[in-house]
Chain A
Amino acid sequence: MDIFLQQIVNGLVQGSIYALVALGYTMVYGIMGLINFAHGEVVMIGTLVTITVAGTLIKAGMPVAVAGLAGMMAAVLVCMALGWALERVAYRPLRNAPRLTPLITAIGMSIVLQNLAMMVWGRNYLTFPSFLPNMDFELAGAHFTAIQVIIVLVSAATMGALLLLVYRTKLGMAMRATAQNPAVASLMGVNINRVIAAAFVIGSALGAVAGVMVGAYYEIAHYQMGFMLGLKAFTAAVLGGIGNLAGAMLGGILLGIIEALGAGYIGDLTGGFLGSHYQDIFAFVVLIVVLMFKPSGLFGEKSGDRA
C-alpha cells in the first residue's frame, strides 16, 4: 500500500508540472486555435535564466531564498518578453495564413530558441542551485520533499488565479469573446491584438514558473529539456480537452499518475512483457482510447471544426 501511495505522490508531482506547462498551451490554443510548439522552449529559457540570475546572486553573497525569488522574477520577465516577441514575430503576421503555416513557424522558432540557448548556456548539463533545505516528510510510508509540496501548491494556486482572470476580469471576458469569435469580438470593441498578445504573455509567464519548478525539482537543466516536456504537456492538454483550462490541469495530473502507475504496475500485470520500457506508451494509449469515445478530450467543448 505504501508503494501505491508513493506512486500516486510521484504521479501527482510530475502531473502538476505537466499541468503548469499544459496551461500555457491551452491558453494560446483556446484563443487562437494554434499549437504553440515553441512553448516547451519558453519553459527551458525560464529554467536557464533562473540558473544564471540566481547563480550569480548567490555567488555575490545573497541569501539563497532571495536569490531564488529574484531568479524566478527575472525568468518570468524574460519569458513574458519572449512570449510577446514570439507572437509578434512568428504568429501575428500569419493570422490569416493556412492553418499549418504557423505550426511550421512554431517548429522553426523552437529550433532557433534551442540553438540560441545552446550558444548562450553551452552544451553541458547545468545544475540548478538548490533553494530549499532538503526536507523530507513521510506520510503512511510515502516519502516526499518540500519542493514537491510547493510544486503541487503552486500549480493549484496558478490554476485558481488563471480561472479568476478568465472568468472575473474584463481581460478574461475579452479573451473568452475572442475565443468564441474573433471577428464579432472585435466589432464589440475588443482589441484582438492586445488580447492575443496578453494570452501569449500570460502563457509564457506560466511557462517560466513551470520552468523554475522543473529546475528546482530535478536540479538539472539543459538546452533540450523543453522538447519532451512540451510534448507531454501538450498531450496532457489534449487529454483534458485542449482550450479548457481545468481540462489542462486535470489532464496533466491524470497523465502524471498514469505514467507512474503504468511504470509501477503494468510490468507485473503482464508478466514482464510490458514493463517500464513502455512507460511513454501508456499515456498515448490512454489518450487514443479517450479520444475514441470523447473526440474532443475529457472536458473539451465540441470545437472540432476549429482546426
Chain B
Amino acid sequence: MQARLSVIALSVATVFALSACGPKEEPKPVAAAPDAKPEVVVKLGHVAPMTGPQAHLGKDNENGAVLAIEELNAQGMEIGGAKVKFELINEDDGADPKQGAIVAQKLVDAKVNGVIGHLNSGTTIPASKMYFDAGIPQVSGSATNPKYTQQGFKTAFRVMANDIQQGLALGEFAAKQGVKTVAIVDDRTAYGQGLADEFKKAAEAAGIKVVATEYTTDKATDFKAILTKIKSTKAELIFFGGMDAQGGPLAKQAKQLGVKALFLGGDGVCTPEFMKLGGEAAEGNYCSLPGSPLEKLANGPAFKEKFTKRFNAEIQLYAPYVYDAVWVVAEAMKRADSVEPAKYLAEIGKTKRDGVTAQIAFDEFGDLKGGAISMYKYTDGKLEYVETLGGGAVATAGSEVKEAVAEVKDAAKAVAGAATAVGKEAVSDVKDAAKAAAEAGKDAVKAGAEAVKNAADATKAAVDKK
C-alpha cells in the first residue's frame, strides 16, 4: 500500500518537475542581452516536420526561416524606437496533426509574435484555429490546401498559390501543349488529391479527355501496375499529384515500361530531388511552381546564392517561400511600428512585397493575390523556365486587368526610352522580356507587367551607372 502510494506520488511528481522545468529553459538566451540600448525580442515560431518521411523538406523550410532571421538581425531593424532582435523558435510536428496541435499550443504559450508554417496542410489547419483564438498571425510558406484560408480565420495567410490556383494553371498548360488525353495519378494525400482534382476540372474544362484516374500512396515505390494500365489507355500525358519521392520513380518506371506519355506535375515534383530520382526519365517533362522563378525576380538569384553559401545545401522546395513568409511578417511589424500581433496583423493584409518568389499581396482570405504559376521544363538535369501563367483568373477582377494593362503600357514606354539610351545589348534583353509578357497571354497580363517593370528598372539602373 505504502509503496504503491509513493510510486504514484513519485511518478506524478516527476511529471510535475519535468513540466515545471521544461519551458523555463527556453527563455534563457533571451534574457542574456545586457545591451544598453533598449532591445525588443521578437519571437517567431516555425513549425515543420523534422522527423518522419518529410523531414528533408522540414529542414529546408527551417533553413529558409533561419536565413531570413539572420538577415533581419544583421540589418538591425528598429520598431517602435527600439532595436529588434528576431528569434526563431523551431518546433517539430512530425507531419502529425496531433503533434501539430501540441506544438501550436506551445507556441501560443510562449507568446510568440507570429508563426511561420506549418509545412503540411494537415497540421496547419488544426493549428490555425489555435493561432486564431490567440490572435497570432500565421503565414505558411507551403500549406496549399484551399481550406486553410477558407475557414474564416483572419490570422491565416499563405505566401504560396493554393491547390485551386495551381491546378487551374496546370490544366491550362496541358491544354496549351495540345494533348487530347490525360491519365491522372494522385498519392491520396491532402496535397496530391487536392491538386489532382483541380487539375482534372481544369483539364476537362479545356476539352482534354481524362482516360484514366489511378492512385498510389505517399509511401509507395512500385508504380508498374498502374503504369501498365495507363499504358493500355495510350494517354498522351500523365499528370501526377504528389511529391518528388514518388514522382521521380514513377517517371522512371514509366520509361522502363515503354510509356511514351509526357509527364506533368505540381510543385511537389519541381525539385532537384525529382531529377535525381527520375534520372533520364525526367528530361523533357514539365512541372510548375507557384510564383515567379527566382531568376526572374529582382531578389531571387541573390537569395539562391546566399542560401547555398550559408547551408552548403541546395534549395529543396519551399525554403524561398518560407524566407518570404518571415520577411512579410517582419515588414508588417515595421509598417505598424509594433511587434504586437493585434497591432500589426492588419498590416500583413496590406503587404506589397517584392519577394524572392513572387510579388506578394494578399486577397481578403489571406491567399496570394493573382497567384501566378510558373511552368518549368526539366532540361539537362536543371529546371528550365518556360512561362508564367496567371493562375487565379477568378481572383483578377476586370478593373485590375485594366490597371495592369495601363501599367504594362507605362512600363513599356519607360523601357523603350531607357533602351534607346543603352544600346543594342539592352534592347535584346528588353525584347525578350516583352516577348515573355506577350506569350503569357491575357491572364498573365499582370505578371507580365511586373516582369517588364523589373526589366525597366534594371535597364534604368544600368543607364544610371553608365
Direct A–B touching, Cβ under 8 Å: yes
User: Chain A 135-156, CB within 8 Å of chain B: the 1/0 string?
Assistant: 0100000010100000000000
A227–B316 Cα distance when bound, in Å, is 24
Contact between chains at A279 and B228 (CB < 8 Å): no
19 A-B pairs besides A143-B256, A220-B277, A277-B188 with CB distance below 8 A are: A6-B224, A6-B228, A10-B228, A14-B222, A115-B51, A124-B56, A125-B277, A127-B277, A143-B258, A145-B256, A219-B277, A219-B279, A260-B224, A264-B225, A264-B229, A267-B214, A272-B213, A275-B215, A279-B225
Q: Are B59 and A143 in contact, CB atoms less than 8 angstroms apart?
A: no
Chain B residues within an 8 Å CB radius of A275 = 213-215
- B46-85: CB near A (< 8 Å → 1, else 0) gives 0000011101101100000000000000000000000000
In this complex, what residue of A is CB-closest to B273?
A125
Q: Is the CB of A6 within 8 A of B257?
A: yes
Closest Cβ of chain A to B237, distance in Å, is 18
Interface residues in B270-295 by Cβ distance below 8 A to A read 273, 276-277, 279
Which A residues are in CB contact (< 8 Å) with B58?
Answer: 123
A131 CB, min distance to chain B CBs, angstroms: 14
- For B59, give the chain A residue with the smallest CB separation: A123
Q: Given A124-B273, A228-B219, A279-B215, answer yes or no on A10-B224 (Cβ-Cβ < 8 Å).
A: yes
| Interface residue tally on B, bucketed by range | 35 or more
Chain B residues, CB < 8 A from A122: 56
Given A3-B231, A127-B277, CB of A259 within 8 Å of CB of B225: yes
Specify the chain A residue showing the minimal Cβ separation from B52: A224
Given contacts A3-B231, A263-B229, contact A218 B221 (CB under 8 A): yes
Select which of A6, A14, A125, A214 is within 8 A of B56 by beta carbon.
A125
Closest to B228 in A: A6
Taking beta carbons and an 8 Å cutoff, which residues of A are in contact with B?
Answer: 3, 6-7, 10-11, 13-14, 115, 118, 122-125, 127, 134, 136, 143, 145, 214, 218-220, 222, 224-225, 227-228, 259-264, 267, 272, 275-277, 279-280
Whether a CB of chain A sits under 8 angstroms from the CB of B226 is: yes
B229 touches A11 (CB 8 A): no
Distance (Å) between the CB of A28 and the closest chain B CB? 24
The interface residues of chain B lying within 8 Å CB-to-CB of A3 are: 228-229, 231-232
A272 contacts across to B, CB distance below 8 A: 213
Cross-chain contact B257 with A143 (CB below 8 angstroms): yes
- Are A123's CB and B55's CB within 8 A? yes
Stretch at the interface among B98-106, B125-133, B244-252: B244-252
Complex contact A276–B226 (CB within 8 A): yes
* Bound-state Cα–Cα, A19 to B221, Å: 16
Complex Cα gap A276–B53 (Å):
22
Q: How distant is the Cα of A14 from the Cα of B273 in the complex, in angstroms?
A: 24
Q: Which residue of A lies closest to B314 (CB)?
A: A124
Is B56 a contact partner of A260 (Cβ separation < 8 A)?
no
Residue-wise interface mask of B (206-236) relative to A, using a CB-CB cutoff of 8 A (1 in contact, 0 not):
0000000111110111101110110110000
Chain A residues near B279: list those with CB within 8 A. 127, 219
Give me 25 A-to-B residue pairs in the complex whose CB atoms sit less than 8 angstroms apart, sorted by A's number. Answer: A3-B231, A6-B224, A10-B224, A14-B222, A14-B224, A115-B51, A118-B55, A123-B56, A125-B245, A127-B276, A127-B277, A143-B256, A143-B257, A218-B221, A220-B277, A224-B53, A224-B219, A260-B224, A263-B214, A263-B226, A263-B229, A264-B226, A264-B229, A276-B216, A277-B188
Q: How many Å lie between the Cα of A13 and that of B224 in the bound state?
A: 10
Q: A122, A125, A267: which has the most chain B beta carbons within 10 Å?
A: A125
Q: What is the CA–CA distance of A124 and B314 in the complex, to the nearest angstrom?
A: 12
CA distance A14 to B231 in the complex (A): 19
Asked, given contacts A123-B59, A275-B214, A279-B215, whether A7 binds B245 with beta carbons under 8 Å apart, the answer is no
- A229's closest neighbor in chain B, by CB? B221
Contact among A11, A136, A145, A225 for B225, CB-based, below 8 A? A11
Given A220-B249, A220-B277, CB of A7 within 8 Å of CB of B225: yes
Which residues of chain B are within 8 angstroms of A262 by Cβ–Cβ distance?
225
Tell me, rounded to whole Å, the shortest Cβ–Cβ distance linking A133 to chain B: 13
The residues of A that contact B56 with a CB separation of less than 8 Å are: 122-125
Q: Which residues of A contact B59 (CB under 8 A)?
A: 123
The docked-state distance in angstroms from the alpha carbon of A224 to that of B53 is 7
Contacts of B51 in A (CB 8 A): 115, 118
The residues in B between 173 and 223 inclusive whose CB is less than 8 angstroms from any CB of A are 188, 213-217, 219-222
CB-nearest residue of chain B to A141: B258
Closest CB of chain B to A117's CB: distance in Å?
Answer: 12
**Residue numbers in A under 8 Å from B231 (CB-CB):** 3, 6
**Chain A contacts of B225 at CB under 8 A?**
7, 10-11, 259-264, 276, 279
Distance of A221 from chain B, by nearest CB (Å): 10
* Chain B residue contacts of A227, Cβ below 8 A: 219
Who on chain A is nearest to B187 by CB?
A277
Q: How far is the CA of A7 from the CA of B56 in the complex (A)?
A: 33
CA distance A126 to B222 in the complex (A): 16
Which residues does chain B contribute within 8 Å of A125, judged by CB atoms?
Answer: 56, 244-245, 248, 273, 276-277
Smallest CB separation, B272 vs chain A (Å):
10
Q: How far is the CB of B356 from chain A (nearest CB, A)?
A: 23
Report the bound CA distance from A279 to B229 in whole Å.
Answer: 13
**A219 near B55: Cβ-Cβ < 8 Å:** no
* Most chain B CB neighbours (cut-off 10 Å) among A123, A127, A214, A277: A123
Closest-by-CB residue of A relative to B50 is A123
**Of A118, A218, A267, A277, the contact of B249 (CB 8 Å cutoff):** A218
Within the assembled complex, what's the spacing in Å between the Cα atoms of A143 and B188? 28
Residues of A within 8 A of B213 (CB): 272, 275
Return B320 CB to nearest CB of chain A, in Å.
Answer: 18
Query: Within the assembled complex, what's the spacing in Å between the Cα atoms of A82 and B190?
Result: 38
How far, in angstroms, from A208 to B324 measured CA to CA in the complex?
Answer: 44
Task: State A122–B51 Cα separation when bound (angstroms).
Answer: 11
Q: Which of A124, A143, A224 has the most CB of B within 10 A?
A: A124
> Smallest Cβ distance from B385 to chain A, in angstroms?
25
CB–CB A220/B245 < 8 A: yes
Which 10 A/B pairs are nearest by Cβ-Cβ distance? A277-B215, A263-B225, A123-B55, A10-B224, A123-B56, A260-B225, A124-B56, A3-B232, A6-B228, A276-B214
Find the B residue at minimum CB distance from A130: B279
Known: A3-B228, A224-B52. A280 touches B277 (CB 8 A): no
- Would you call B245 and A222 a contact (CB within 8 A)? yes
Q: How far is the CA of A210 from the CA of B316 in the complex (A)?
A: 30
Distance (Å) between the CB of A17 and the closest chain B CB? Answer: 9
Contacts of A143 in B (CB 8 A): 256-258
CA distance A125 to B56 in the complex (A): 8
CA distance A263 to B228 in the complex (A): 10
- Residues facing A in B250-265 (CB within 8 A) are 252, 256-258
Residue of A nearest to B280 (CB): A134
Q: How far is the CB of B223 from chain A (nearest CB, A)?
A: 9
